[in-house]
């Protein structure tokens, strides 16, 4: 069932209040990608157990697979059933039109990322598209996020190491961040400080000093996010929330826990064909990962229902 504009605006107002609380209370909201209903259940159970606010997020392929309105309905149902604070984030949306459709559907958070569809998109094209989404989002109050260039990696499990020196060339700068935020009017800036997408054979290294300089360079009311929250030593998150990061994205760790646990459950139950009996252990493993992240993000106990 579609939400009324009054309901959407009430949700986005609460979403903005959440982000403001994150700055005041020094926590980050976990934004967890979902591929299916089981992953959504894992997010909801973790949020309930730890009394933590959460976002469920969908990239273009996930929207195509599940359906935006279906996720809207499921999120609203689980919010009521579990008594939790939960929102929807459209993640790395490559087109303005996709963002507008998500805003109309009631997504509280919108991430416009033109470079996702065109890695070589010009600065002008990215800024123009981002400004259009920012303006459109004013109708509902949705919180808009963006970054000025392509974010390296993907939500996969990689076997090869990454070249940290090459990655450093794509890092955000305080000056560039300030200029982009002011040019676009976005609410949230996705900082690049070593937090690339995916899981790798070596741990990621986040430049926390750079993050502090970025935080100092922009308006205190502008929110910061970190993508690529998987496969990252947890102490980086603990430092990031103290500096003022409000949102951290996690995907690959959830997918890895889901698949590896599913393989194990299937191997241990070769004669079981009732999927409903196989899945609790699987989404329980995903829930455990989410709980670990929530603890590192300092968001446990921070939900406002």
Binned at pLDDT 50, 70 and 90, residue 152 comes out as low
Give the Cα separation of 27 and 243 in Å (integer). Answer: 10
Look at residue 300 and tell me whether its pLDDT is greater than 90. Answer: yes
Look at residue 139 and tell me whether its pLDDT is greater than 90. Answer: yes
Taking each helix axis from N to C end, the angle separating 37-50 and 68-82, rounded to the nearest 10 degrees, works out to 30
The residues assigned a catalytic role are 91
β-partners of residue 144 are 110
Q: Please list, residue by residue across 205-215, b when 16 or more beta carbons sit within 10 angstroms of its beta carbon and e when fewer do.
A: ebbeebbbbbb
Q: Give the DSSP H/E element, type plus range, for residue 31.
A: strand 29-33
Look at residue 196 and tell me whether its pLDDT is greater than 90. Answer: no
Mean pLDDT across the chain: 94
Binned at pLDDT 50, 70 and 90, residue 1 comes out as low
Say if strands 188-191 and 223-226 run parallel, antiparallel, or are unpaired: parallel
56-69 pLDDT tens trace: 999 999 999 999 99
Look at residue 176 and tell me whether its pLDDT is greater than 90. Answer: yes
Predicted pLDDT at 119: 81
Paired tokens of 268:
């241990």
Cα atoms found within 13 Å of the Cα of residue 282, Cβ hemisphere only: 24
Predicted pLDDT at 154: 66
Percent of the chain with pLDDT over 70: 98
Cα atoms found within 13 Å of the Cα of residue 162, Cβ hemisphere only: 22
Paired tokens of 205:
């290294």
Three-state DSSP state, 122: coil
Cα atoms found within 13 Å of the Cα of residue 175, Cβ hemisphere only: 0
β-partners of residue 189 are 146, 224
Look at residue 270 and tell me whether its pLDDT is greater than 90. Answer: yes
Look at residue 164 and tell me whether its pLDDT is greater than 80. Answer: no
70-125 pLDDT tens trace: 999 999 999 999 999 999 999 999 999 999 999 999 999 999 999 888 888 999 99
Predicted pLDDT at 203: 81
CB 8 within 8 A of CB 75: no
Residue 73, Cβ neighbours under 10 Å: how many? 14
- For the chain, domains (ranges, CATH) are 5-253+292-297 (3.20.20.70)
| Residue scoring higher pLDDT (168 or 70) | 70
């Amino acid at each position: 069932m579609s939400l009324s504009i009054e309901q959407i605006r009430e949700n986005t107002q609460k979403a903005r209040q959440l982000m403001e609380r994150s700055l005041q209370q020094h926590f980050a909201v976990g934004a967890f990608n979902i591929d299916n209903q089981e992953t959504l259940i894992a997010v909801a159970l973790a949020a309930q157990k730890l009394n933590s606010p959460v976002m469920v997020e969908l990239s273009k392929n996930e929207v195509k697979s599940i359906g935006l309105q279906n996720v809207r309905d499921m999120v609203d149902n689980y919010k009521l059933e579990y008594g939790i604070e939960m929102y929807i984030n459209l993640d790395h949306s490559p087109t303005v039109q996709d963002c507008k459709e998500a805003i109309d559907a009631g997504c509280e958070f919108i991430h416009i990322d033109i470079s996702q569809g065109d890695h070589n998109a010009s600065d002008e094209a990215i800024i123009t598209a981002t400004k259009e989404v920012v303006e459109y989002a004013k109708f509902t109050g949705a919180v808009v996020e963006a970054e000025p260039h392509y974010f390296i990696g993907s939500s996969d499990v990689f076997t090869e190491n990454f070249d940290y020196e090459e990655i450093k060339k794509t890092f955000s700068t305080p000056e560039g961040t300030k200029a982009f935020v002011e040019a676009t009017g976005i609410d949230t800036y996705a900082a690049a400080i070593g937090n690339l997408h995916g899981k790798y054979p070596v741990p990621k290294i986040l430049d926390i000093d750079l993050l502090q300089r970025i935080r100092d360079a922009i308006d205190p009311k502008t929110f910061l996010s970190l993508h690529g929250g998987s496969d990252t030593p947890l102490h980086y998150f603990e430092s990031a929330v103290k500096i003022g990061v409000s949102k951290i994205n996690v995907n690959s760790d959830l997918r890895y826990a889901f698949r590896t646990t599913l393989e194990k459950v299937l191997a241990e139950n070769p004669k079981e064909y009732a999927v409903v009996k196989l899945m609790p252990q699987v989404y329980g493993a995903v829930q455990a990962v989410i709980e670990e992240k929530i603890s590192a993000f300092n968001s446990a106990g921070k939900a406002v229902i």
